Amino acid sequence: MSSPITSAVRFRPGDTVAGLDLTATPGFEGSKTDAAEVQATRSARLAELQEMLYAGWKAGGDHRNVLLVLQGMDASGKGGIVKHVVGAVNPMGVRYTAFGKPTEEELAHHYLWRIRRALPPAGHIGVFDRSHYEDVLVVRVNNLVPQEVWEKRYDEINAFERELVDGGTTLVKVALFISAEEQKKQLLERLDDPTKHWKYNPGDVDERLKWPAYQQAYQAVLDRTSTDYAPWHVVPANRRWYSRLAVTELLIEALEGLDLSYPPADFDIEAERRRLLDS
Ligand code: ATP
């Protein structure tokens, strides 16, 4: 059964990033403590569905898969989603890829080249920690290519995603939004804690200074690439317990939409039982 959260976070034409309440918990009325309880139950459901997806491919020849696309500013909680939400399912059936600054080899190719190489195999859940959307976010904000080049990418991305969906992929696109204040708090925590220094990147402060340009670039992404076949979900992420629950619900909804079931045995169960007992 789908949760009220999934429809509450679905991007609708006309929604604006600027007006978002980032401490809100759309579709969920409980407290952090309530959420912990729900999270445990729903993580178990997610794990069960993922196993069915995997089994359906491994033993049933089902070639469908799911791709979670995670976007968000630094410290918006992408890593926590990977650790806590994706971490609740069997890693055997997950293909995780983080997209950082392109390497020289990647830059020598079309920007979708590295994306295509990272697409999940059949039966798997792919996780993109940043994605092809960086090519219209960081690239646009920093003028890494001329405007006439990045302008064309929105339509190109829509066509690419259409192709993925037609090939049997269910896309779950999530944009995590935190406030500038919350980001400052999170980055300060990284500085204050020696066990988090590895997460601190001085370059994050430079990007932070371009906050309004990023807001604009995110708005353009939502306006131009939220399609009926691959809609965006706008998830307020100041409260991490909420954003984790929201992504869990979105993945559950995507998997339930596939109407999965365990594949039937392709052998004679009784004959096998006898053979085993006699062995
Ligand atoms: P994160 O901030 O995601 O936790 P990180 O700070 O450890 O990660 P990396 O994973 O090495 O850094 O890389 C992320 C950085 O790479 C981000 O600043 C992102 O904007 C940048 N990046 C990703 N894709 C591109 C791209 N296509 N062109 C330029 N920069 C990109």
- What separation in Å is there between the alpha carbon of 135 and the centre of ligand 1? 11
Phi first, then psi: give them for residue 23, nearest 5 degrees: -100, 0
Per residue in 116-148, pLDDT (tens digit) is 999 999 999 999 999 999 999 999 999 999 999
264 has pLDDT over 90: yes
Segment 205-228 mean pLDDT? 97
- What separation in Å is there between the alpha carbon of 19 and the centre of ligand 1? 26
Query: What distance lies between CA 190 and its chain's CA centroid?
Result: 23
Residues 246, 162 contacting (CB under 8 angstroms): no
Quickly tell me which residue has 């259409």 as its tokens: 162
Please name the amino acid found at residue 252.
I
Confidence of residue 229 (pLDDT cuts 50, 70, 90): very high
Ligand 1 atom closest to residue 138's alpha carbon, by position in its atom list: 20
- What separation in Å is there between the alpha carbon of 101 and the centre of ligand 1? 5
Residue 149 confidence (pLDDT) = 98
- What separation in Å is there between the alpha carbon of 7 and the centre of ligand 1? 29
Residue 244 confidence (pLDDT) = 98
State the Cα angle at 231 between 42 and 140, rounded to 5°.
115
Domains, the chain, with CATH or none: 4-278 (3.40.50.300)
Burial of 203 per CB tally in 10 Å (0-12, 13-18, 19+): exposed
**In which element (H, E) is residue 98 found?**
strand 94-98
21 has pLDDT over 90: yes
Ligand 1: residues whose CB is within 6 Å? 74, 78-79, 98-102, 130, 134-135, 138-139, 144, 201
Residues 230, 154 contacting (CB under 8 angstroms): no
Q: Whose CA is nearest to atom 20 of ligand 1?
A: 138
Residue 19 confidence (pLDDT) = 85
Query: Do the strands 94-98 and 125-129 form a parallel or antiparallel pair, or are they unpaired?
Result: parallel
- Order of strands, edge to edge, in the sheet holding 232-236? 94-98, 125-129, 65-72, 169-177, 232-236
1 has pLDDT over 80: no
Q: Whose CA is nearest to atom 25 of ligand 1?
A: 101
Q: Whose CA is nearest to atom 6 of ligand 1?
A: 201
Residue 2 confidence (pLDDT) = 82
CA 247 to each of CA 105, 215, 225, 241, 260: distance values in angstroms, whole numbers, following the listed order:
33, 21, 19, 10, 19
Confidence of residue 81 (pLDDT cuts 50, 70, 90): very high
Segment 173-198 mean pLDDT? 96
Segment 249-275 mean pLDDT? 97
pLDDT over 90, % of the chain:
98
* Residue (of 175, 156, 172) closest to 65 by Cα position: 172
102 has pLDDT over 90: yes
Rg over alpha carbons for the chain, rounded to the nearest Å, is 20
Please name the amino acid found at residue 122.
A
- What separation in Å is there between the alpha carbon of 168 and the centre of ligand 1? 28
Ligand 1 atom closest to residue 111's alpha carbon, by position in its atom list: 27
**Average pLDDT, whole number, for the chain?**
97
Ligand 1 pocket test target in 130, 150, 206 with most atoms within 8 Å of CB: 130
Residue 247 confidence (pLDDT) = 98
Q: Any idea of the CA torsion for 56, 48, 85, 63, to the nearest 10 degrees?
A: 10
